[in-house]
Amino acid sequence: MSSTSPSPDRLAGWDVPRSADGVRHLLRHARARGLDPAALLVGTGLHLDDLGPGGVREVTAAQELRVVRALRHRVPDDGAVVGASYDVGSFGALGFALMTSRTVLDVADVTQRFFDLSYAFVVLRVELVDDEVVAFLDGSSLPRDVRAFLVARDATAVRTVLDSLVPGGVGAHLEVGPDRAVLRFAATELDRPLAGGDARRRELAEAVCRDLAADRRSATGLPQEVRVLITQRLADGAPMPVVAAALGRTDRTLRRQLAAGGTSYRALLEEVRRSLGADLLRAGLPVAEVAARLGYAEPAALVHAHRRWTGRPPGAARRGPAPGVHPADGDASPHRRGGLPQRP
């Protein structure tokens, strides 16, 4: 028994900040089923406007799971139906890497290495067993009440996207259980070429996937959850008690836990504001609008903060970096993902 592709380092589990596009897809399915998408957001701290154009980029795993629970409660047998509604274009950089792969083997390789860039909750392992490629999709670590729904959704999505890449499909056989699923197809299919194979474009897509994956895999722990929730509530000032309540904590408990991790709520709020402010100013937004989006009561507060962060006024951000300052300064930390909406 040998792996069809290099085994990646231990990937981050499902309980990490996730692309908000996963929730958007669930809401689209709810609309298609005649359901009220706003009802699925009750208790998440999110609103439909947050998930519209220009909305949040990330959500916490707890927020997405609450949406999954609400959808499952209304349409309990729709896991596979949701999975079948995905296509390769749904997955941003990962989808582009799949489309530009040269063979099915390349598809299996890039899928295993960057599976955490999809919207899946299950854990994927791909192996070559005798004359078959076998993909194991394990959901045993997921909350029991949504486990079967998510296993069916994620496994069906994998088969749907795989078959869409090759004319006539690969003849994959899928067995779905309540805790895990197994997908099999003949190893001879690995050599089949893809019509969109392009080595140069595939290399570019993989480079993007590597950067995104490194960023996401570092996004673990309480501080990153706090950053995501601050970003979602920034226009209202992101009050600490509101964020703490969203995490099921008191503000005193949250303060103590952040201190134990070597940071503070104030420091995280500053990080998010600095990073998002840099993105918005580079995008050419007026200072007054940027100040409002960052939760400042007036533009003068942003001017003061920007001078503290960079030594320059906000207007200088549109004219490029100061001498000796790299353009990416302030953008490298994981909280940057809370910035402008952008598909993974």
Spatial separation of the C-alpha atoms in residues 206 and 203, rounded to whole Å = 5
The arithmetic mean of pLDDT across residues 74-98, rounded, is 94
Spatial separation of the C-alpha atoms in residues 336 and 339, rounded to whole Å = 6
Spatial separation of the C-alpha atoms in residues 64 and 81, rounded to whole Å = 18
- Count of alpha carbons within 13 angstroms of residue 209, beta-carbon side: 24
Res 318: pLDDT: 60
Joined tokens for residue 200: 């140069």
Using an 8 Å Cβ cutoff, are 254 and 265 in contact? yes
Using an 8 Å Cβ cutoff, are 192 and 186 in contact? no
Q: Which pairs count as long-range contacts for 290-297, CB under 8 Å and 24+ apart, including other chains?
A: 290/314, 292/235, 293/234, 293/235, 294/234, 295/234, 295/235, 295/236, 295/237, 295/238
Spatial separation of the C-alpha atoms in residues 210 and 9, rounded to whole Å = 12
2-3 vs 18-19, strand pairing mode:
unpaired
Residue-wise pLDDT for 12-59, tens only, equals: 467 778 889 999 999 999 999 999 999 999 999 999 999 988 789 889
**Predicted confidence band at 212 (pLDDT cuts at 50, 70, 90)?**
confident
CA 338 to chain centre: 11
Res 109: pLDDT: 93
Give residue limits of the domains in the chain. Answer: 2-215, 221-338
Residue 316 neighbours by CB distance under 10 Å: 15
Res 329: pLDDT: 34
CA 99 to chain centre: 20
Using an 8 Å Cβ cutoff, are 173 and 68 in contact? no
Spatial separation of the C-alpha atoms in residues 230 and 82, rounded to whole Å = 30
Res 219: pLDDT: 62
Res 222: pLDDT: 87
Name the CA dihedral angle for 126, 14, 206, 24, rounded to a multiple of 10 degrees. Answer: 120
The pLDDT mean for the chain works out to 86
CATH 3.90.1520 is held by the domain 2-215: yes
Q: Which of 48-62, 150-164, 209-223, 303-317 is the most confident on average?
A: 150-164
Res 283: pLDDT: 85
- Count of alpha carbons within 13 angstroms of residue 80, beta-carbon side: 8
Using an 8 Å Cβ cutoff, are 272 and 234 in contact? yes
**Predicted confidence band at 330 (pLDDT cuts at 50, 70, 90)?**
very low
Spatial separation of the C-alpha atoms in residues 132 and 123, rounded to whole Å = 20
**Predicted confidence band at 185 (pLDDT cuts at 50, 70, 90)?**
very high
Output the CA–CA distances (angstroms, integers) from residue 70 to 1, 59, 80, 176, 269, in the order listed. 40, 16, 16, 22, 30
% of the chain surpassing 90 pLDDT: 65
Q: List CB contacts of 5: < 8 A, sequence separation 6 or more.
A: 105, 108, 109, 112, 113, 126
Spatial separation of the C-alpha atoms in residues 46 and 232, rounded to whole Å = 8
User: Between residues 10 and 130, which one has the greater pLDDT?
Assistant: 130
CATH 1.10.10.60 is held by the domain 221-338: yes
Joined tokens for residue 281: 């100013």
Residue-wise pLDDT for 255-286, tens only, equals: 999 998 889 999 999 999 998 898 889 888 89
